[in-house]
Amino acid sequence: NAGVTQTPKFQVLKTGQSMTLQCAQDMNHEYMSWYRQDPGMGLRLIHYSVGAGITDQGEVPNGYNVSRSTTEDFPLRLLSAAPSQTSVYFCASMTSGGIYEQYFGPGTRLTVT
Amino acid sequence: KQEVTQIPAALSVPEGENLVLNCSFTDSAIYNLQWFRQDPGKGLTSLLLIQSSQREQTSGRLNASLDKSSGRSTLYIAASQPGDSATYLCAVHSGGGADGLTFGKGTHLIIQP
């Protein structure tokens, strides 16, 4: 099992550009999430999904879009990048059925200039 | 709203010591509590998951305890090694889905050789 994979590992964008952060998992988990991690702020939930075709907003959703067409993939789209979106982004998947154990990808470090 | 606090924020100890990291949470109605390790520039690695009905979990030199009624968990590391140096994060799952996780800000641990 590869677990949770994310691409790219690093990305530099100019203000106003758009891009998609890729996330995939091979554990057949229904639940997937996107977090951002900033110094002093901890991990904050951006968007999450409870299954293919179902997504919802987390704590800090503004400026981001998600979709879930398959169980495996959960891409995060930045619509018009802003310097405030400079952060480390983590994708996670979680077991269901009452256990709720979360598994994280290696992260994408994004810089917006 | 669930709040998770980790004390201390940073800790530096000589190799070989036994140590305790603390995690407290404000709402005792939880599904589980998960301890993670994060190395610099890396993702989160799950160390231990304690279900709400359990009092403790052990993995090698690590032991995590949970006292739900008092809103506390401890992570005990025995015979610390320089390779244990990392940031340790505590996460509490309060809700029933992918949006129910609340993270502490972590304890940055340095083990001096």
* Whole-angstrom Cα Rg for chain B: 13
Encoded amino acid at B97, one letter: G
Residue A101 touches partner B, C-beta closer than 8 Å = yes
Q: Using the beta-carbon criterion (under 8 Å), do B93 and A104 form an inter-chain contact? A: no
Nearest to B99 among A45, A98, A99 (CB): A45
Residue-level pLDDT at B113 = 94
Residue-level pLDDT at B96 = 64
Among A39-43, A74-78, B14-18, B84-88, name the one with the lowest average pLDDT: A39-43
Residue A50 touches partner B, C-beta closer than 8 Å = yes
Residue B55 touches partner A, C-beta closer than 8 Å = no
Q: Using the beta-carbon criterion (under 8 Å), do A101 and B46 form an inter-chain contact? A: yes
DSSP 8-state code for residue B82: G
Residue A97 touches partner B, C-beta closer than 8 Å = no
DSSP reduced 3-state for A85: helix
Are B15 and B113 within 8 A, CB to CB?
A: yes
Which own/partner pairs from B75-79 qualify as long-range (CB within 8 Å, at least 24 positions apart)?
B75/B20, B75/B21, B75/B23, B75/B35, B75/B47, B75/B48, B76/B18, B76/B19, B76/B20, B77/B18, B77/B19, B77/B20, B77/B21, B78/B18, B79/B16, B79/B18
Q: Using the beta-carbon criterion (under 8 Å), do B97 and A40 form an inter-chain contact? A: no
Question: Per-residue pLDDT for B28 more than 80?
Answer: yes
H/E run at residue B7: strand B4-7
Question: Per-residue pLDDT for A98 more than 80?
Answer: no
